Amino acid sequence: MAQKIHPAIIAQNQRKLGEDLKRLQGLVKEVHLDVVDGKFAPNHSLDFPFRLPAGFTYSTHLMIKDPEAWIARQGKKVQLYIPHLEALKDVPAYIRRMKGSGRKIALALLPETPVFRLTPFLPHLDYVLILTVHPGFYGSPFLPHTLRKIKVIKARNPRCKVIVDGGMNPQIIKKAARAGADYFVSGSYLWNAASPKKALQELQGSLRAV
């Protein structure tokens, strides 16, 4: 399956969310939404009952203290939710509920969390998101050591798709691809560019060169 780049959106209000989605129309089909509650990570994003237009497939990275409460309230709006392992009170129970609902199962890991904490659950996971920066903001410094987790995940569950999130620019995305990542989340590199379309093309060009 082809590697994919997913634009990330951090938005404090509906107007900003709508503007960013409009800029992505015609560029991508899949969008990565960062939900941040100011408690799990030091920022606020999409922590309101937002509205989403049709035309995209949405994944949500839930950087929040109580992801299951959020899923119960707003989960029907999106196709994939990615709560943090560190925030779930009972991971096996969460996995059972996701299986029962027919949903794909994804978990995220903070940079400081050792990958061995995830290994008991890997046989059940469809996706793992590895944070390659400290969470909450666009433009946080890339943490190279986080890429070592990919090899462990792939060795224990080759079918599991690994998402890397943070610091992706044309140089770093090559390193992440060579380490075995499948999907790449890009925020600041796209949104700080004069043309998100051109920035996306540059990232795609780097992937083709791997």
Tell me if residue 66 is catalytic. no
Catalytic member of 20, 37, 165, 182:
165
Confidence of residue 135 (pLDDT cuts 50, 70, 90): confident
What pLDDT, on a 0 to 100 scale, did the predictor assign at position 105? Answer: 98
Mean pLDDT lowest for which of 79-93, 116-130, 131-145, 153-167? Answer: 131-145
Task: List, for residues 45-64, the tens digit of each pLDDT value.
Answer: 999 999 999 999 999 999 99
**Predicted TM-score (pTM) of this structure:** 0.95
Tell me if residue 37 is catalytic. no
What pLDDT, on a 0 to 100 scale, did the predictor assign at position 72? Answer: 95
Q: Please report the DSSP string for 80-122 in residue order.
A: EEEEBGGG-S-HHHHHHHHHHHT---EEEE-TTS-GGGTGGGG
Q: Percentage of the chain surpassing pLDDT 90?
A: 92
- 30 vs 74, 134, 181, CA distance in Å? 18, 23, 17
Tokens of 111: 């940079």
Catalytic member of 20, 34, 37, 182:
34
Q: How far apart are CA 149 and CA 96, in angstroms?
A: 25
Residue from 124, 122, 79, 115 nearest 97 by CA: 124
pLDDT tops 90 at residue 140: no
Q: Please report the DSSP string for 37-49 in residue order.
A: ESSSSSSEES-S-
At the topology level, CATH places domain 4-208 in TIM Barrel (3.20.20)
Confidence of residue 96 (pLDDT cuts 50, 70, 90): very high
Contact 143, 171 (CB under 8 A): no
How many Å is the maximal CA-CA distance in the chain?
A: 45
Q: What is the mean pLDDT of residues 94-101?
A: 96
pLDDT tops 60 at residue 1: no
Confidence of residue 177 (pLDDT cuts 50, 70, 90): very high
What pLDDT, on a 0 to 100 scale, did the predictor assign at position 54? Answer: 93
Q: How far apart are CA 21 and CA 14, in angstroms?
A: 11
Confidence of residue 136 (pLDDT cuts 50, 70, 90): low
Pairing label, strands 80-83, 127-131: unpaired
Mean pLDDT lowest for which of 38-42, 67-71, 137-141? Answer: 137-141
Tokens of 88: 């779930």
